Amino acid sequence: MKSFERLVLTHLKDITGPLLDPLQFAYRANRSVDDAVNTGLHYILQHLDSPGTYARILFVDFSSVFNTIIPEILCSKLTQLNVPAPTCQWITDFLTDRRQQVRLGNITSSIRTISTGAPQGCVLSPLLFSLYTNDCTSGDPSVKLLKFADDTTVIGLIRDGDESAYRQEVEQLALWCGQNNLELNKLKTVEMTVDFRRSPPTLPPLTILNSTVTAVETFRFLGSTISQDLKWTSNIVTLIKKAQQRLYFLRQLRKFNLPQELLIQFYSAIIQSVLCTSICFGSATKQDR
C-alpha cells in the first residue's frame, strides 16, 4: 500500500506544487525549519527598522489536527487545486471507513470504523494535511501567517498602534478553524510582543473565542528559543546544554574502545546535529558566538 501511496504522493506534488501557500515550509523540497524561523525573524526585524512599530506574535496550538480532517472538505479543497476527480475519489475512499482496534496488554477493544482524520505514519498524511490547510492564509499584508505542518504562527506587524488588521486576522483564523473542524488549543496558544520603543505602553490583551491568550517572554519556536529582545542568548544556552548532555554518552562510548569511525558517526548524528540547529546568530553577542 505504501508503494502506491508514494505514486499518488508524486502525482499530487506535481499538480499542487505551484499552488501551495509560499509560507508553508513543511514537507516541501528545499525548505526546512530554519527557513521558517529565519523568514519570521526577517519579517519582524525589517518591520522594526521603522519608527513607531512593534510586532505581536501568536503561536497557535491545535488539538489532534491529523485526527480531525474531514474527507469531504479535503476533497473540495483538492478540486480547487485542480486535482482530478478520480484522484479525489480515491483519496476519499482511502480516508473513510477505516477499521481500527486498540490492544493494551491482553485486552483488545472492539473494532471501530473511522471516517475522519488522516492515518499517522502513512506516506500521504503529511501532504494531505498541508493541502487541507492551504487556504488558511492572511488577507492583510501587515499580518503574516507562517505554517510548518500543524505549527502555525501569526505575526502582526503593528504600526502607530493600529492592531485592527492583526486582531481581525486572528478572528478569521478562529472562524476558519471552526469551519474546517480544527480545534484551537486555547491553553497552549500563547502570544509574545516584540517592542523596541523607548517607553512602550501596556498593550491590551488578545482574546480568542472569549479566552485571554497568555503572554510569554520566551517561546520555543520550531526548535529555536525566541525571546522578546530577539537576542540569541537563550537559544544558544539551550543548544549548548543539550549538546553537553549528549557528550556524556560519547565519553561513555570511548571507554568501550569503539573504533574512531563509529565515534565520529555518533558525534555527527547526535551532537553536531544539535549544534547546527538554527545556526543563524546575527543577534548573538560576541561572547555567545
Q: Where are the domains of the chain?
A: 2-96+112-227, 231-289
Is 191 buried (19+), middle (13-18) or exposed (0-12) by CB count in 10 A? buried
**pLDDT tens-digit series, residues 113-149:** 988 998 878 899 989 999 999 999 999 999 999 999 8
Spell out where 7-141 has E strands. Answer: 53-60, 62-63, 98-100, 103-104, 107-108, 112-114
pTM of this structure = 0.87
Pairing assessment for the beta strands 211-212 and 207-208 based on DSSP bridges: antiparallel
Whether the Cβ atoms of residue 44 and residue 192 lie closer than 8 Å to each other: no
- Residue 39: per-residue pLDDT: 94
Q: Are strands 214-215 and 190-194 parallel, antiparallel or unpaired?
A: parallel
What is the distance between the alpha carbons of residues 130 and 126, in angstroms, rounded to a whole number? 6
Gyration radius (Cα) of the chain, Å: 22
279: pLDDT strictly greater than 80:
no
Does 58 or 119 have the greater pLDDT score?
58
Average pLDDT over residues 67-94: 95
CB 201 within 8 A of CB 179: no
Within 13 Å and on the Cβ side, how many CA atoms surround 253?
A: 16
